[in-house]
Amino acid sequence: MERKLRAYSLIKTLFVLVALANAGCHREVAMPPLPLRNITSTDKFFDVWPTSPTRAFVVGDRGKVLLTEDGGRNWKRIDIGTQLGIFGIQMTDDQNGYLCGQDGLVMRTRDGGKTWKRLDSRTHLFIFGLSFPDANHGFFVGDRALVLSTTNGGESFIKRHLQKIFPPEISDYALPYEEPVLYSTSFTDVDHGWVVGELGRIWATENAGKSWTEQQLSLLPQYKYPTGPNDDLRFNDFLLPTFFSVSFRDPKHGAACGLEGWVIQTSDGGKTWTFAHQADKPGAPPDTLVPGAPHFPARDPLFSIDLFGGDQGITTGLTGTVLRLQPNGAWARDPRVPAVPFTLSQARFFDALHGWIVGGPAGTILYTEDGGKTWRFCQG
């Protein structure tokens, strides 16, 4: 019995040695790393800026900046040296541009986006929007009623807080309405610009930001919000919906959109604004809904609006909402845009044919080269 156990032990040892020897005869095969994708399923994109029919920058969460030169077929990631979220970008020409985002982030490029330099914004507040009528004059807006302006390409900034000054006798009651967030700005030239934000704020300047006037008061007679017993009528204009985006095609014609899914329009530079009606599909008659009325059905918030060309417009929002401006002035749902269940943060057209829509959290980038008749999902 002992001899059998010894024999079994010897056979087992030989088997192990042979196995080790065979293993040593084979080289270890290195698996190639998975390719790093520039666009992933977790990306959140907040803004897009085209500089030609096929060239565009896309920015988003975690400091991501992408550039395409061929209409979104291929993408290059640009390392800007930060992981902060980027909420807005604008190129003033092929070489000069700016971006903004979290923690007071403001950056500038002078070489077509190859490199970006962080500028001293003098704030750590979130900056949500920007508008540059030329390479040197620009405005940024953000949290706590922040407005930054520069006349020298970001070498220095003037900082102000654009908010209503309340009389001393009601200042204590006005605390909830102080320092509203400002989300978007649009300048058609150095002098003429608009800012929109929280609690229905609309501000306008005609002298390059030296002075500002409120413009939302013309909306109050149209907004039939029922006041309650605890509502203070002195703050009625703060019951208007928050506006997230504003766009002007010239100093007279502009539009804004926001929280309750409404679009507002002006044809006189904002002296008067009107709520625009919507239609279920192109060619359908406008609805007859009353803004602010208690029976108002739920609509998706609208986060971006872009007026382009002589008479075109597009707005995007939550759960893939896309509306296009119709010849009768109404905004209709656009069935030609692929249905996605995600937020569409921004739409911008370079011209009447070439345009982009971006969003997330699924890394959504859409591109059209036929005026929106067809859209292509971009991957990379």
pLDDT digit string (tens) for 145-158? 999 999 999 999 99
3-state helix, strand, coil in the chain (%, to 5): 15, 35, 50
Q: How much is the average pLDDT of 317-334?
A: 96
Q: Is residue 306 part of a domain?
A: yes
98-107: which pairs have CB atoms within 8 A and are 24 or more residues apart? 98/130, 98/132, 98/138, 98/154, 99/59, 99/65, 99/130, 100/127, 100/128, 100/129, 100/130, 100/140, 100/142, 101/59, 101/126, 101/127, 102/126, 106/140, 106/148, 106/154, 106/157, 107/80
The per-residue pLDDT for 31 is 53
Give residue 233's pLDDT band: very low, low, confident or very high (50, 70, 90). Answer: confident
Give residue 239's pLDDT band: very low, low, confident or very high (50, 70, 90). Answer: very high
Q: How much is the average pLDDT of 365-375?
A: 98
The domain total for the chain is 1
For the chain, percent of residues with pLDDT exceeding 90: 85
Distance CA 202, CA 218 (A): 11
- CA neighbor of 86 nearest in space, from 77, 95, 73: 77
The per-residue pLDDT for 132 is 98
pLDDT over 50 (residue 289): yes
Residues 57 and 360 sit within 8 Å (Cβ to Cβ): no
Give residue 26's pLDDT band: very low, low, confident or very high (50, 70, 90). Answer: very low
Greater model confidence, 12 or 344: 344
Q: Is residue 348 part of a domain?
A: yes
How many other C-beta atoms lie within 10 A of the C-beta of residue 122? 13
For the chain, percent of residues with pLDDT exceeding 70: 91
Report the chain's mean pLDDT, rounded to a whole number: 91
Q: Is residue 28 part of a domain?
A: no
Q: How much is the average pLDDT of 43-71?
A: 98
Q: Is residue 232 part of a domain?
A: no
Q: Is residue 10 part of a domain?
A: no
Residue 102 identity: Q
Which CATH number is 165's domain given?
A: 2.130.10.10
The per-residue pLDDT for 54 is 98
How large is the greatest C-alpha to C-alpha distance in the chain, in angstroms?
A: 108
Secondary structure, 3-state, 331-380: EEECCCCCCCCCEEEEEEECCCCCEEEEEECCCEEEEECCCCCCCEECCC
Q: Residues of 124-143 as b/e, b for ≥16 C-beta within 10 angstroms?
A: ebbbbbbbbbebebbbbbbb
The per-residue pLDDT for 150 is 98
Give residue 294's pLDDT band: very low, low, confident or very high (50, 70, 90). Answer: confident
Edge to edge, the sheet with strand 202-205 lists: 182-187, 193-197, 202-205, 213-214
Q: Is residue 92 part of a domain?
A: yes
Q: Is residue 2 part of a domain?
A: no
pLDDT over 50 (residue 104): yes
The per-residue pLDDT for 53 is 98
What are the phi and psi torsion angles at 144 (to 5°)? 55, 45
The per-residue pLDDT for 308 is 97
- Judged on CB neighbours under 10 Å (0-12, 13-18, 19+), 27 is exposed
The per-residue pLDDT for 33 is 56
Distance CA 94, CA 55 (A): 10
Omega before 361 within 30 of 0, i.e. cis:
yes
Give residue 28's pLDDT band: very low, low, confident or very high (50, 70, 90). Answer: low
pLDDT over 60 (residue 18): no
Which residue range(s) make up the domain with 312? 43-227+242-377
Q: Is residue 182 part of a domain?
A: yes
Give residue 32's pLDDT band: very low, low, confident or very high (50, 70, 90). Answer: low
Distance CA 177, CA 278 (A): 30
